[in-house]
């Protein structure tokens, strides 16, 4: 897993598929051809000031990183960018429920990606 660091990468993911599930928002899109590395997926994390002060935002991102490190090697697709956006309830959400939210969002986003891929070749 590689980390997204550039604002342009976050904006591209935001224009892609978005799924809101429980305490997390997932944004995903295919990795641009220039940035694709064989067998790699890219992940970014963000928390806006609406979540709370810096301590709370950092805690939310830490929890998202921990959940993503468990789930994305299993459920993530190579050649895709993922952005996990913290929501107001991310910090208080029990960790198993947070894992479940991310799993559900990933599966729904992948179904939508597959449906869009099918439409484009008609």
pLDDT in tens, 74-119: 999 998 999 999 999 999 999 999 999 999 999 999 999 888 877 6
Could you give the CA distance from residue 82 to residue 42 in angstroms, rounded to a whole number?
6
Q: What is the pTM of this model?
A: 0.91
Structural domains of the chain ordered from first start: 2-117 (3.30.230.10)
Query: Between 67 and 119, whose confidence is greater?
Result: 67
At 5-31, the pLDDT tens digits run: 999 999 999 999 999 999 999 999 998
Burial of 91 (0-12, 13-18, 19+ CB in 10 A): buried
Tokens found for residue 92: 């208080």
């Amino acid at each position: 897993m590689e980390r997204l660091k550039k604002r342009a990468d976050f904006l591209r993911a935001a224009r892609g598929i978005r799924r809101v599930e429980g305490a997390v928002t997932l944004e995903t899109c295919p990795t641009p051809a220039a940035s694709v590395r064989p067998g790699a997926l890219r992940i970014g994390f963000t928390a806006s000031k609406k979540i709370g002060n810096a301590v709370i935002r950092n805690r939310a991102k830490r929890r998202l990183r921990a959940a993503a490190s468990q789930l994305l090697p299993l459920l993530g697709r190579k050649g895709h960018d993922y952005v996990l956006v913290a929501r107001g309830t991310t910090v208080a959400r029990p960790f198993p429920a947070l894992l479940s939210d991310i799993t559900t969002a990933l599966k729904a986003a992948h179904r939508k990606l597959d449906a869009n891929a099918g439409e484009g070749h008609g």
